Structure 1
Amino acid sequence: MLYWGQVMKMNRERTGMLIAEARKQKNMTQKDLAAALHVSDRAVSKWERGDSLR
């Protein structure tokens, strides 16, 4: 049985993977995506790792 915390962690990880996949399909670096979204490349890195999607 999965607990809510485990489900949320899996969702954050999956979302991060989707962001990274979409970025790579567009041949963009994290820096490119960050510039397009007016955020830091560190923010994009955190999103892709699922660290800041809580």
Structure 2
Amino acid sequence: MDTKKIGAFLKQCRKEKNLTQEQLAEKFGVSARTVSRWETGVSQTKRY
């Protein structure tokens, strides 16, 4: 899975809806820092 492509898509969708990272984070129940990491492709889920 290409996390950078997914992040770019998420950012594009967020901007089309005129939402800030803080507003999107509130809707998902996560921090704005988490949204930022999603959008930059930094966040990765650990699998065991």
TM-score (norm 2): 0.87
Aligned to 2:43: 52
Q: Which has the higher contact order (CA 8 A, sep 6+)?
A: 2
- Gaps of at least 5 residues in structure 2 are none
> Aligned residues, how many?
45
Off by >4 Å, runs of 4+ in structure 1: none
Deviations 1:1-32 (A, max 9, x none): xxxxxxx5xx1110000000000000000000
Highest CA radius of gyration, 1 or 2? Answer: 1
- Where structure 1 has 5 or more consecutive residues not aligned to the other structure, the ranges are 1-7
**When you count helix as a share of all residues, which structure comes out higher?**
1
In structure 2, the residue corresponding to 1:17 is in which secondary structure?
Answer: helix
**RMSD value over aligned CA atoms?**
1.1
